Amino acid sequence: MSDTTPVTDHATEFAGKTALVTGAASGIGLATARRLGAGGARVVIADHNAEGAEKAAAELTAQGIEAAAVTLDVTRPESVEAAVRFTVATFGGLDLAVNNAGIGGPSAPTGAYDIEAYDRVVRTNLDGVFYSMRYELPVMEAAGRGGAIVNVASILGSVAFPGSIAYVAAKHGVLGLTKTAGAEYASKGIRVNAVGPGFIETPLLQTMDKAAHDGLVALHPAGRLGRSEEVAELIAFLLSERASFMAGGYHLVDGAYTAV
């Protein structure tokens, strides 16, 4: 039997679509925004770092990508709602969303973990994803043309990491949000998935000393940390029609970290 699957033109696969990417001033978010823009999408760069968001949008614009920046605090529902409104007002709709904004947090055993730090990490990494979907999904549903959302979780959405109770709890929660929303909206043509990156060379790791960095590398059978562009490729796939039957799933990009 011959394969009749159409060949995808990656330069136009997102043509005519608008994407909102949170935490997009740097790291995985910026790489994803760049990848979606290269595929023809109009992209909104949303980040709490207003200067960084403007710089990223200018970079994409210089590359011929339609891009705009908006300041966003994902811990505040009204800020998320405003960012979604900005996206619709600027580009006429919302077809794709990547809920990537997140923070790390201090390292301490659970019995000594700072409560304010715990609240801050969970508000950003878990509540922020809920708030994002809370305002993205109604816009996609009302438009009646489907859509796709990718929530950026982590390998720590499925395994433990001693000293990181807040981050691990939040990322486990992101999987619950993704599975529930994925099941609720699949019949409406809106696909919700999550990705689980291993440790990636991003600004979050720039302050780490060499010994700690080498220790993280050793946890990955691939023998290195991941690159933001590698995560962006998986996200782009999940947002594309190539993943048209994938919903409510959790997809790893981790150099075999969770395989051992």
In this structure, what token pair is assigned to residue 50?
């207003």
The CA-to-CA distance between both ends of the chain, in Å, stands at 38
Alpha-carbon distance of 197 to 228, in angstroms, equals 9
Catalytically annotated residue among 118, 131, 167, 185: 167
What DSSP assignment string belongs to the chain?
A: ----PPPP-TTTTTTT-EEEEETTTSHHHHHHHHHHHHTT-EEEEEES-HHHHHHHHHHHHHTT--EEEEE--TTSHHHHHHHHHHHHHHHS---EEEE--------B-GGG--HHHHHHHHIIIIIHHHHHHHHHHHHHHHHTS-EEEEEE--GGGTS--TTBHHHHHHHHHHHHHHHHHHHHHGGGTEEEEEEEE-SB-SGGGTTS-HHHHHHHHHTSTTSS-B-HHHHHHHHHHHHSGGGTT--S-EEEESTTGGG-
State yes or no: is 167 an active-site residue.
yes
Alpha-carbon distance of 20 to 93, in angstroms, equals 10
- Residues designated catalytic: 167
